[in-house]
Chains A and B, each alone.
Chain A
Amino acid sequence: MTSISEDSDKEKMRSVSVDLNNDASLVIDIPDALCERDKVKFTVHTKTTLSSFQKPEFSVPRQHEDFIWLHDTIVETEEYAGFIIPPAPPKPDFEGPREKMHKLGEGESSMTKEEYAKMKQELEAEYLAVFKKTVQVHEVFLQRLSSHPMFRKDRNFQIFLEYDQDLSVRRKNAKEMFGGFFKNMVKSADEVLISGVKEVDEFFEQEKNFLLDYSIKIKDATAKAEKMTRSHKIADDYNHISGALNNTAADNNTAFKKHLEKCAEVFEKLRKVEDRMASDQELKLTELLRYYTRDIQAAKDLLYRRARALADYENSNKALDKARLKGKDVAQAEENQKQCLQKFDKLSESGKKELTSFKARRVVAFRKNLIEMTELEIKHAKNSVSLLQGSIEILKSN
């Protein structure tokens, strides 16, 4: 029931976590989103010069599930095995604000008007932050696809962008969910099994070790950063303090009142600054880490697929040897071995390219985000400083 149209924020938000080569031939953004109960409807807007689309510009409504469907179809496409598949956007999580909303509804009678207003304010701010973040990750997913030379030509992707009706993709049923879970289990077990396969390419050996280590570290860092940003409740406290100060001032009529009011004002202003500081930290730092946790997982998946292909190739080699020994089905085994080798080589080749570009992309993204975050931190801190200086002056003067 909340609708936002990011105008000023659009620029800032668009490429928060990834640096995309801005190719004007296919530009996708999500200018608007609508939240209905637990469903979020995104308006996906596309502008293109590609001839494969019927119109140069169009908008379609899409839900989170549609994004997941798109991701899944891409993952399942054998052709794309050699690519790092952009991680699917996480499910919109409005649990935090919703819980607060609940509390607000419950406590409405027991709260004073000011407290209620404050709570509402807080809630709205939080809600908006979550909302923005959700839109952003979905947008980024599409932008990653559109900027990829292969994915942008994907049929399903084009359907996703163009089909002006509801995609009404089937939600995964329980069996499929379990299937997915099972697949993951098998994959993990398989990963362990094929880890014994001797790596032939030093690049991949290195890359594998790096990604394994890095994924552990970045997961940890993400968790810690989330914890840190979550505990950044200073703004809320300022808000409450400001409210309490105002209440105290309301019942006072001595010289004290002035100080209290001034003080409440300071806290109110500090709250806003602190609020932005926290949400920018969340957006620039935590979100970056979170995204790369997922992206690294995607890169690891690529490695897994390649390692699987390598294992397949070695198995086919063994099979060929066996066949030769027995002198039976040699042609078929040879064919199989050749195919496996081909697949493996293809995966290795594209994988190498993908991983190299991934590394470059990651470094650029980190740089961009860290600079932005630092600049924002400085900006906010400077705001606080001038705010505090002004208030101290005023307090001292009267």
Chain B
Amino acid sequence: MAASSERSPPPFPDSEEPELLEDSDEGADAFTGTSISEMDSPSPDSTRPPKDIFNEPPEDIFSDPLSNINPEPQKKVDTKIPSPSSDEAVDLFSEPLDDDSEVMSSPEVQNPMPDLLNEPVEAPKSDVLGEPPVHKNAARQQDFFEDPPKGSNKSSSVKKAASAELFGDDEDEEDLFKETPKVVTKKPQPSGPPVDVFTEVKSDVKVKPQVKDDPTDLFTEEALTAPAQKPPASSSSSSRTNGVHSEEQDLFSEATVELSLDSPLNDRKKKDAVKPSLSAPAASVASSSSKAPSKTLEELEEEESEDKFDLNISVTNPEKVGDGMNAYMAYKVSTQTSLTMFRSKTFTVRRRFSDFLGLYEKLSEKHSQNGYIVPPPPEKSILGMTKVKVGKEDPSSAEFVERRRAALERYLQRVVSHPSLLQDPDVREFLEKEELPRAVSTQALSGAGFLKMLNKATDAVSKMTIKMNEQDVWFDEKIQDVENEEQHMRKLHVMVESLVNHRKELSGNTAVFAKSVAMLGSSEDNTALSRALSQLAEVEDRIEQLHQEQASNDFFTFSELLADYIRLLGAVKGCFDQRMKAWQRWQDAENMLQKKREAEAKLLWANKPDKLQQAKDEIAEWEAKVTQYEREFERISATVRKEVIRFDKEKARDFKRQIVKYLESLLNSQQQLIKYWEAFLPEAKAIA
């Protein structure tokens, strides 16, 4: 990094420089507590990707802030909505309206109060320090640097509004909401983001961030990650500022700080962290913006106890639809939640297997390239399904269906327990929407399937060819760990499978023995012994049942858990691969830059000034690319790291829960066993 920043000359027109410098100056002010500059450019960002903003998260923009606001200002926001959206997409309109009406009546509005009460220690503290809000704004504020040149004039206006708000919200909320319309009227289009910002600020101050707030973060994030492939102009500006601060390290320290918000070292670290993020150039915007919200999410996750995560999904009632080879199984997907992002508290949809696969396809397309671990769905099983299609009512197909149902349920639960994936509109659509467009690309034998296979093959090849020399010890170890763990899990899975089979075998043999003993008992001429033997046969029969139940417990609680984690570890490895790909892209760009430089040197030596300018331009272009790719690599590294940490934590928890459940099942069957034998003992003693 340092090398690259030294190399990069400031190729940019001067006009922007003062602007940016000013920003950072103001940023310094911000840390003394005023946080004026924090908000100084929320609008530029929003001007850039209006499409994204309005396509994706309209509901969130309006519904979520609302839910957080007290009933009083809520009206204002309501009235405000029509004005900005007057010239906008229809869905913006239709969606928020629903939400509004709902929010008005919904009890969610009351939420801030209990929250305040619940977390009195943390909330006041952050107020006093003035740090957490500042800090968070700072992180978010990077988003708004996105496009300084265009936004410069507008940003000043918004700046006023925003800063006023920031002050205002410390004093009273009235201000906040009075200001909002101003922004809106000045700039109707970006009305969404400013609203975000305010609610964000507010939520920081008033209540600890909740899942509810986060949709807004996320969507700004999504909006922002899209323009990651920026035109050279904007990115080269970044390369310039890049020279000012080398923020590779800082980015990381920032990450750690955000993770450990509650630690006593906070304050000092925070200052360190905020500085670089304030001056962070445009290219890092996307990365840090994507990091910031998810990091706050992680905090949340830590802060929130499990029961606070109120979203129960169950997959039930598998039902065969249709006949013959066109038949398919449909499952009832029921959701129960108090999260405000959903329209109601309980809802049910019917989904078929390919819909689940389709959901995965969509999610993985969107998120896996960013380094997120997208939980994989259960595998397609042509054999199993064909059996179900053809077979009438045979136990193996019933078992197959039950197995799949359970797997799908676990899959969905994993998806929604991922804070970022939960926010994905596709997830919500999957859970809520009555009819889904048929997922076509999930068919194993379709053209899309073939393409996918082809892609996978090329991926595999490129994976083999990429020789990444790992700089990061953490990753180096983790990649190895995951690899080993997968191996071990596979072995373990085989063992557990054989346990299941042996237990089934034992169960079968016990049944046969029970019958045989019953026969023996009937032949026995000693009455008491005969009776005892037929009792023994009964006991063995029950034990057979017990073995059978235990075998299915072995399978569903233990074996399937391992199978899930083998799949999940595959997904984790996929994340590492994505990171490696990003690294490769960066290295390629670096090499290209090197080549361009050499070409320039040659031109200089050959004294061809006419081509020199072009070469210089090219160098500038590639320098920008290098920085951008490097940023992307940093970003994906941070995301992957965070994801893996989260995954490990989840895994430990999940395993513990499942193992306890499994041991309890064993316990239960042993207790049953005692009961059976104890009932038999007097019979045996009665033999005379």
Interface residues of chain A, those whose CB is within 8 Å of chain B, are: 210, 213-214, 217-218, 220-221, 223-225, 227-228, 231-234, 236-238, 240-241, 244-245, 247-248, 251-256, 259-260, 263, 266, 270, 359, 363, 366-367, 370-371, 374-375, 377-378, 381-382, 384-385, 388-389, 391-392, 395-396
Contacts and interface: CB of A to CB of B under 8 A. Distances in A.
Interface stretch (B71-79, B275-283, B425-433, B665-673): B665-673
Contacts of A363: 526, 528-529, 687-688
B205 interface: no
Interface stretch (B214-222, B354-362, B507-515): B507-515
A42 to B, nearest CB: 31
B660 A392 contact: yes
Contact of A210 (B496, B523, B651, B688): B523
Given A227-B512, A370-B536, A377-B673, A241 B492 contact: yes
A162 B560 CA distance: 63
A221 B532 CA distance: 15
Nearest to A359: B526
Interface of B is mostly: helix
B652 interface: yes
Contacts of A263: 659
A392 B532 CA distance: 36
B505 to A, nearest CB: 5
A78 to B, nearest CB: 30
Given A231-B505, A388-B670, A259 B655 contact: yes
Contacts of A220: 516, 519-520
Given A255-B649, A263-B659, A234 B529 contact: no
Question: Looking at chain A's contact residues, is the secondary structure mostly helix, strand, loop, or mixed?
Answer: helix
Contact of A228 (B509, B526, B659): B509
Contact of A224 (B509, B536, B652, B685): B509
B506 interface: yes
B517 interface: yes
A123 B513 CA distance: 26
Interface string B92-126: 00000000000000000000000000000000000
B652 A255 contact: yes
Contacts of A252: 481, 485
14 contacts: A217-B516, A220-B520, A221-B517, A224-B515, A232-B506, A233-B502, A237-B495, A244-B491, A259-B652, A377-B673, A377-B677, A378-B678, A385-B667, A388-B664
Contact of B684 (A213, A370, A388): A370
A392 B662 CA distance: 10
B526 to A, nearest CB: 5
Given A251-B484, A384-B670, A234 B660 contact: no
A375 B681 contact: yes
A256 B648 contact: yes
Interface string B489-503: 101100110110011
A224 B3 CA distance: 77
- Of listed A228, A266, A378, A385, residue having the most chain B CB within 10 A: A228
B674 interface: yes
B687 A370 contact: yes
B670 A385 contact: yes
Contacts of A214: 520, 523-524
Contacts of B666: 270, 384, 388
A62 B680 CA distance: 41
A128 to B, nearest CB: 21
A388 B485 CA distance: 26
Contact of B499 (A228, A238, A367, A385): A238
Given A363-B687, A370-B684, A227 B513 contact: yes
A16 B509 CA distance: 24
A146 to B, nearest CB: 26
Given A248-B485, A254-B652, A370-B536, 4 more contacts: A248-B488, A363-B526, A367-B685, A384-B670
Contacts of B667: 384-385, 388-389, 392
B656 interface: yes
Interface string B550-580: 0000000000000000000000000000000
